Every structure is written in C-alpha cells, then in structure tokens.
Structure 1
Amino acid sequence: MNTDVKQGIETRGFYKLSQVQRIGFGSGDLAQNLIYQTVSMYLLLFYTNVFGISAAAAGLMFLIVRIVDVLWDPVVGAFVDKKNPKYGKYRSYLLLSGIPLTGFAILCFWNGFSGSLTYAYITYVGLSMLYTLINVPYGALNASLTRDTDEITKLTSTRMFMANLGGLAVGYGVPIVVQYFSPDGKINSSASGDAWFITMTIYAIAGLFLLIFCYTQTKERVVMDEKETENVHVSDLWTEFRRNKPLRVLAYFFITAFAMMAIGNSAGSYYMIYNVQAPQMLPYFMALGSIPAFIFMPLVPAIKRTIGKRQMFYLFLSIAIFGMILLYVISVVPALKTQIWLVLIAQFVKSTGVIVATGYMWALVPEVISYGEHTTGKRISGIVNALTGIFYKAGMALGGVVPGLVLAYVGFDQQNTLRQSAFAEQGILWLVAVIPAMLLVLGLWIISKYDLDDALMDKINYEIEYRYKDQI
C-alpha cells in the first residue's frame, strides 16, 4: 500500500479521538446506567417489598418483558440502519428517546397503583422498549466514531469508567437517598414508596442531561452510505448471525455475562439486609461493585497490550470466580460472616474481575461489525447491536426470572423486613455467589472460542478502507 493511500485511509477511517470526545461518548453510558443499574439492582426489591407483587409474579414479568425485547430489538436495529435522521444517524435517538425514557423510568418507581400487575407491566414494558431505542443506536454510535483498534480500546476504557461511575452513583447513592426521604428510614418497606419515586426522579432527570451532553460531543464518521441502507432488512440479523462466527461467540458471552450480573445485582440488597444483617452497609457493598473500575479500567489498554485480549479475559474472569468462592465461604462460616470487612473484601475481588471482563467485551462489538463488513461489504451496525442486545436482554431475562423463582422456591417472606428462614438465606446466597460463579465458568469456555486478535483486526480494517482508495 503506497504512502498516499495509507495516509488517506488513516484520515478517512482510523480517526483519533480527544479525551473530551471519549468522556462525551462515555456520558451516554453514565446516563443509561443511572436508569439501567437502578432497575437491575433495585426494581425486584421495590416490586416485592414496596409495590406489593410476589417474587414469582415479578420474576415472570421480567421474563415476559425480555421476550418482548427479543421481538423488538431486531425491528429497532433494522430501523436505525435504514433511517438517516436530520440530527445524526445514531446520535439523534439520544434525544428522541431520552425524554420519554426519563418519564417511564420515573413511573416504574411510582407506588400510586400499588400491587397492580397491569400498571407494572405497562410501565416496565414501556421502559424496556424505550431503553432499546437508545441503547441499540448508542451501541452503533460506538462503531461509527473510528476503526482504530487502539482508539476503540481507549474509548471502551473511558466509557466503562463512566458507566461504573453511574453504577457507583446508583449502588452507593440510591439506598442513601431513599433512606433519607423514607419516613421509616428503610428501603424495603411499603412506607418507602414516595422515597423511591423521588429518588428515581432525581436520577432520571440527571440521566437526561447527560444524554444531551453525549449528543453534543459525538460525531458519526464511519457509517454506511444512504444507498447501502436501502437494502437493510430485519432478516439481515439472522443472516449475519449465521455467517459471522465471532458475532455468535460474542452473543453467547453476552447472554452469560449479563445473566451473571443481573442475578448478582438483584440479590445484593437481599444479601446485605437478610444474610449479613447489616442493611446500613448496603451502600458500601453496592459501591464496591463499581469502585474497582476506577482503579483497573484505565489500565486495560496496557494490560491488553502486555498479555493480549483473550488472556485478559481469562485472568479477570478467574479473579471474579475466586471472589465469588470467597464470598460463599465467608457466608457459610458463622465466625466469618460477622466480619463485615471480609464480606467487603470478597465483593471487591469479585467486582474487579467482573468489571474488567464485562467492561472490555463492549470493545469487541466494533470488531464483529468490521468483520461482517469485511465479509459482506455491508456495515450494519444497528443490526449487529440489535443482535447483541437480544442476547444481553436474554441474559437480563434470566437475571430477572431466576431470582424471583429462587426466592419463591425458598419461601421468601416479603412482609418481613428484618429476618428470613435459613433456607431463604441459602437461596439468596445461591443468587449472590453460586449461580453467578457457574455462569462465569461457562463464560470462560465461550470466550476461548473468540479468535479476532488485534493484528487480524488491523488487517481487516485496512483492507476495508483500501476498498475506498478511489474515493480518497
């Protein structure tokens, strides 16, 4: 490849991003996590202990909502790939969907129709569908910023730092804010309904302003021409899934990883309230689910360069499994369970592994998009993100239905805000440590099948851009 062509390719596709642009894009993750993490960590607790729905009914609802998502995601993916809105192919949806998403998030935590399954279904389905209308184009926006693998790694590191800042604001902040506004100082009583509504209002509005900021700081530069978008169909999703092996591997990893996170997150509040008997330490326990990101995510580019991406997954998934084993051992030994500092250490170790492994997986999405473009000539970012969305929401479905069913099976008493039976406590421990660890072992095997290394991706991206040399 001659120097002029290479320089043109680097200018056209391998764009460099400023730190402000990375933070601007990452603010979209921060915004979405203020809502997503609140739902993931606390909606089940709100439904069972505050709103008044049984654990089994809530678990079934979570499953049904995710089935709706499976049908909705490919429609959204094809729609955003075909359309070219005035204010940006993908970034427009940060504004168009952000405002109604804010409203539905607030309504999900309103106790005005206490105990009404109909109201819960309407608001949760609406929230989930609107979340897809932001999340799918936002994921595609990631792949439209640059082809440069080093830049994508830096961008992913920054966005995961921002995402976990949202997780910290939710994990640590939500219980404190709810307790502050709750008349009885609890987060798991019917009297705390108004406090949950106020808290979600604060977080959702903050998220909306962050989505607006994300919109102002992003620029789409690697997208399909309008002529190419005319041939995008919903059926492309399944066609791409069949012929794109790296995409299949990533999709299976997504369902495993998100099931693990959703199950562990939703059980965390139950664990600290009932098993550890230290509800006052819940904010610190939840905060430790995010704090390792601020230590390790900035180091990800250097770690990946040193040991490679696959070995990095192996290392941090193993750390997460070790942390879950440690949490289980501490919880079943009476003399250790009373040592809350040991519980917090185990949570930190577990979260370190989970954050790095599940955070970096988002850097693989642009890779499988480019692999598909290299193979077919079509850069269907929306379709690919819809497909990964289907699988991560399938993982979320497991994360929603499994805790509800396990709690129902072990006889969880939603009227008791202080104690549960030994069997119910054991069930909560399964959700916090045992089931997530089993899923991570499966995740280790799945990610071993991913074979797009950085050298291959650079070759693929340069070959794609070389096709455009006549346009340079």
Structure 2
Amino acid sequence: MNAKTQLVRESKGFYKLSQFQRIGFGSGDLAQNLIYQTVSMYLLIFYTNVFGISAAAAGVMFLVVRIVDVIWDPIVGAFVDKSSPKMGKYRSYLILGGIPLTGFAVLCFWNGFTGSLAYAYITYVGLSMLYTLINVPYGALNASLTRDTDEITKLTSTRMFMANLGGLAVGYGVPIVVQYFSPDGKINSAASGQAWFITMTIYAIIGLFLLIFCYTQTKERVVMDEKETENVKVSDLWTEFKHNGPLRVLAFFFITAFAMMAIGNSAGSYYMIYNVQAPEMLPYFMALGSIPAFIFMPLVPAIKRAIGKKQMFYVFLTIAVIGMAMLYIISIVPSLRSQIWLVFVAQFVKSTGIIVATGYMWALVPEVISYGEHATGKRISGIVNALTGIFYKAGMALGGVVPGLVLAYVGFDNDNAISQSAFAEQGILWLVAIIPALLLIVAMFIISRYELDDEVIDKINHEIESRHEY
C-alpha cells in the first residue's frame, strides 16, 4: 500500500495506531482493574471476615448494587453520547470520574464503621456509580480510535494484556501487601482492617495516575458530531437492543462470562485458605489467573487469523472447562489436593481459556456499534457500552449474590479464619469449579449465535464511511 492510499484509507476512519498508543489506551483498563479486580477478588472476604457482615447480607448487597447499575448505566450512556466536554467526548471522564473513584475505592476498604451495612451500601454504591462513569465512556473510546478491524484486534490484545497486568498486580500483590501491614499476618481477620485500607490507598492512587496517562495518549477520531447525537435519549438503549441482533448475542455472552469470572474470583481466596489449607500460596494461585495473558494475548491476532474468531471462542472456552474439571477432581481426591503443583496446573489451564475468550469479547463491542450505525445512521457508542455494561454487571450481580448465598447455605463460619466444615468446603468447590463450568457451557451456545465475521464487518465499515463526504 503506497503512502497516498494509506492516507486516503486513514482519512476515512481506518486509522493505524502505534504500539505506544495501544499501551496508552490499555493503561486505562490496567487502572480500572486495580480497583475492579480488588473488589471482584477480595471485597466479599473483606466484608465477611474483616468488616463483619454476614455472607448472606453481603450477597444481597451485591445484588442491590447491580440493580442500581441497571438504572444508572443507561443514564450515563445517553449523557456521554449527548455531551461533548472540552477535554474530550469520552476520554474526559478518565479524569472527571477518576478522582472521586479513587476516594470511594479507598473508603470501601476502610474498617472505621465495622459491621455497618449502611456504610457498606453507601460506599459500594458510590464506587459502582463512579466506576460506570469511567467504564462506559472508556468502552466507547475504544470504538472512537479507529474502524480498522485488524487494529481493533491488536488494540484489544494490548488492552487485555494491560488489564491482566492489573489482575496480576491485584491477585498476587494484594494478599502480600495486606499480610505485610497486617499485625497478625492474615488477610481474613478483623485485625487486618487497617492493612486493607493502606493497601487499597496505594492501588487506587496508582490507578489514578494511570487514568491520567491514558487520557494523554488517546485521540478520538471516529465520533458523531454534536448535531447527530443531540437527540440521543435513554430509550435509545432499548431500541438498539431490539434491532441489533449481534448486540443481543454479545450482551447475553457478557452476562454468563462475567458471572463466571465474578463467582470464580470471589471464591478463590476461600478455596486456597479453607480447601487447600495453604493461605501462604494464595498470591501464586491468584497470579495464575492473569499470567496466561502475557503468553497468549499477544498471539490472539495470529490465532484469530488462523482459525477464525468463533472457533477461537470454542477452543478457549473448552480449555477453561477442562481446567475447572481438573480443579474439581484434584480437590476431591485427598492425595491429589496435597500436591499444590497440580492445583496450580489446573488453575493455569482454566485461566488460559478464560483470559483469551473473555479478553477478546471486548473486540466485538466496536463491531456491534458499527452494525447499529450501519442500520440506523447513529453511532451511539455510549449507549451501546451502557447496554453491555448493564449485562456484564448483571453477570457481576449473579457473581456477587451467588457466592454469598451459597456460603450461607453451606454454613460458612466467618469467625473462623483457619478451617470450615466439610459441607462448607464443598460449597466453596461448587463456586470455584462446578458453577463456573456450567456457565461456560451456556456461553459457548450463546456465542455460536454471533454472525458478524470479519468480512461482514469490514464491508459494513466501508459502507458507513462511503456515506460521508470528505
């Protein structure tokens, strides 16, 4: 391709991004994961064992917070699409939302009002609403950088690499930092409250600086002008959902994927402490939830070219199910459970499948945005990301309420920091392996209904660009 052709191609929306620009964009997901993953992996055990809330009460609270999100997300999506702040239509919220998000993240892990459900609700609802104020426009920012399908794949691979770097920093780092500051060296005792507060303060401040870096490295170039979006309203969300078939498929995939991840993540610490009886190995177990990303996410563009994106989903979702089956078998056979390396192998296999499948799903969001724009003439990225946000938070709601209710059902003793009954251990194993595996099987069926292959989406994007005058 000569320089002139490249210039024409870029002038019509198919922009090429440098690796540094991809890293800059991905740093936003790294920042959000320093908070999101900490909440996903550790907030439940903080609430039950440190803050002093029962597992059932915490599970109900997680559900209530997600119901609030169902109302709040479309409001944010419509507002973002209609507004054009001077600092950037989407990227401005990295700063405007990032500062208060940092404060609420820290307050969620403060033990100053021990056992107060009211305090827990206020801080967690506030955290979730502010997270939406960043996450929805950040998702829309992805689709505003370029229409180029290959670039979106590379961008998503880099983004997920960075996101899992955040997951690694949380999964491996948080228990170590908490243990370091905790007077009794534990993460699941009332005495560790101040250690959690210090740890979250460190992570939240680092996250804020990363959001600022993301802001400086991104440029919005594929956006609708103000006249085209001035009539965007919340009801457009449901109109888009009704008429955009690929969006519906992706939305339901998000539910199952995020429910699976939230359940597995929140149960991981319980599993290592009570089932495996190796709390000192928790950082390594949780780190293996992210490490495969650094091996396989850079290979995603090549894998997708070789076997296609649907087959890639099938292959890696199957790998995840195999890993969960391995984890279950190892855990119910005493002679195997004592072999910690087998637990780690199973966790690595499981995480490999989950990371690639759930990481690449974000590359489909710009596709369904373009599909909707092709059909309606409106590129309502905020609305679409709000809708996907509703569904992934619905998955998180399941992921939040299910562990709490299961733990309550099996009689989990939140005052015991060392051991649980055999029935409680079985319940934890359901959360680590059985329930997530069932959700992944459902996810495979859902993604089989997705019909936008690369040839179709490339044709759609070129037809959209041909409508504009340059």
TM-score, with length taken from structure 2: 0.99
Q: Is the 8 A contact 1:52 1:115 kept in 2?
A: yes
**Code of the aligned partner of 1:46:** F
Q: Is the 8 A contact 1:178 1:192 kept in 2?
A: yes
**Alignment-derived partner of residue 61 in structure 1:** 61
How many Å separate the matches in 2 of 1:391 and 1:249?
A: 11
**Alignment-derived partner of residue 364 in structure 1:** 364
How many Å separate the matches in 1 of 2:98 and 2:449?
A: 36
**Code of the aligned partner of 1:154:** K
Summarize deviations over 1:19-39 as a string: whole Å, max 9, x none.
010000000000000000000
**Alpha-carbon deviation of 1:10?**
3.5
Pairing of 1:192-207 with structure 2 (within 5 A): 192-207=192-207
Summarize deviations over 1:221-271 as a string: whole Å, max 9, x none.
000111011110100000000000000000000000000000000000000
**Code of the aligned partner of 2:386:** A
**Alignment-derived partner of residue 344 in structure 1:** 344
Q: Is the 8 A contact 1:5 1:466 kept in 2?
A: no
**Alignment-derived partner of residue 98 in structure 1:** 98
How many Å separate the matches in 1 of 2:430 and 2:368?
A: 34
**Code of the aligned partner of 1:153:** T
Within the alignment, does 1:298 sit opposite 2:298 as a pair? Answer: yes
**Alignment-derived partner of residue 355 in structure 1:** 355
SS at 2:449's partner residue? coil
SS at 2:412's partner residue? coil
**Alignment-derived partner of residue 420 in structure 2:** 420
**Alpha-carbon deviation of 1:6?**
9.1
How many Å separate the matches in 1 of 2:7 and 2:282?
A: 53
**Alignment-derived partner of residue 177 in structure 1:** 177
**Alignment-derived partner of residue 330 in structure 2:** 330
**Alignment-derived partner of residue 213 in structure 2:** 213
**Alignment-derived partner of residue 320 in structure 1:** 320
Q: Is the 8 A contact 1:262 1:399 kept in 2?
A: yes
How many Å separate the matches in 1 of 2:42 and 2:457?
A: 39
**Code of the aligned partner of 1:321:** V
**Alpha-carbon deviation of 1:4?**
8.6
**Alignment-derived partner of residue 161 in structure 1:** 161
Summarize deviations over 1:374-433 as a string: whole Å, max 9, x none.
000000000000000000000000000000000000000000000000000000000000
**Alpha-carbon deviation of 1:8?**
3.1
How many Å separate the matches in 1 of 2:173 and 2:37?
A: 12
**Alignment-derived partner of residue 276 in structure 1:** 276
**Code of the aligned partner of 1:394:** A
Q: Is the 8 A contact 1:81 1:229 kept in 2?
A: yes
Q: Is the 8 A contact 1:9 1:466 kept in 2?
A: no
Q: Is the 8 A contact 1:34 1:203 kept in 2?
A: yes
How many Å separate the matches in 1 of 2:373 and 2:12?
A: 16
**Alpha-carbon deviation of 1:12?**
2.5
**Alignment-derived partner of residue 230 in structure 1:** 230
**Alignment-derived partner of residue 17 in structure 2:** 17
How many Å separate the matches in 1 of 2:135 and 2:4?
A: 38
How many Å separate the matches in 2 of 1:88 and 1:8?
A: 25
**Alignment-derived partner of residue 453 in structure 1:** 453
Pairing of 1:257-272 with structure 2 (within 5 A): 257-272=257-272
Percent identity of equivalent pairs? 85
How many Å separate the matches in 1 of 2:313 and 2:271?
A: 27
**Code of the aligned partner of 2:14:** F
Q: Is the 8 A contact 2:10 2:16 kept in 1?
A: no
How many Å separate the matches in 2 of 1:306 and 1:22?
A: 23
**Code of the aligned partner of 1:264:** G
**Code of the aligned partner of 2:105:** A
Q: Is the 8 A contact 1:263 1:431 kept in 2?
A: yes
**Code of the aligned partner of 1:339:** Q
In the alignment, structure 2 segments of 5+ residues that lack a partner are none
How many Å separate the matches in 2 of 1:241 and 1:462?
A: 23
| Count of aligned positions | 468
TM-score, with length taken from structure 1: 0.98
**Alignment-derived partner of residue 381 in structure 2:** 381
How many Å separate the matches in 2 of 1:159 and 1:90?
A: 17
After superposition, the Cα gap between the structure-2 partners of 1:5 and 1:337, relative to the gap in structure 1 and judged at 3 Å, is: closer
How many Å separate the matches in 2 of 1:298 and 1:124?
A: 34
**Alpha-carbon deviation of 1:7?**
5.8
**Alpha-carbon deviation of 1:11?**
2.1
SS at 1:62's partner residue? helix
RMSD: 1.0
**Code of the aligned partner of 2:281:** M
**Code of the aligned partner of 2:136:** V
**Alignment-derived partner of residue 8 in structure 1:** 8
In the alignment, structure 1 segments of 5+ residues that lack a partner are none
**Code of the aligned partner of 1:242:** K
Q: Is the 8 A contact 2:237 2:387 kept in 1?
A: yes
Summarize deviations over 1:425-446 as a string: whole Å, max 9, x none.
0000000000000000000000
How many Å separate the matches in 1 of 2:437 and 2:281?
A: 23
After superposition, the Cα gap between the structure-2 partners of 1:256 and 1:90, relative to the gap in structure 1 and judged at 3 Å, is: same
Q: Is the 8 A contact 1:9 1:465 kept in 2?
A: no
How many Å separate the matches in 1 of 2:38 and 2:10?
A: 41
Within the alignment, does 1:397 sit opposite 2:397 as a pair? Answer: yes
**Code of the aligned partner of 2:70:** V
Q: Is the 8 A contact 1:319 1:352 kept in 2?
A: yes
**Alignment-derived partner of residue 125 in structure 1:** 125
How many Å separate the matches in 1 of 2:392 and 2:231?
A: 26
**Code of the aligned partner of 2:176:** I
**Alpha-carbon deviation of 1:9?**
4.5
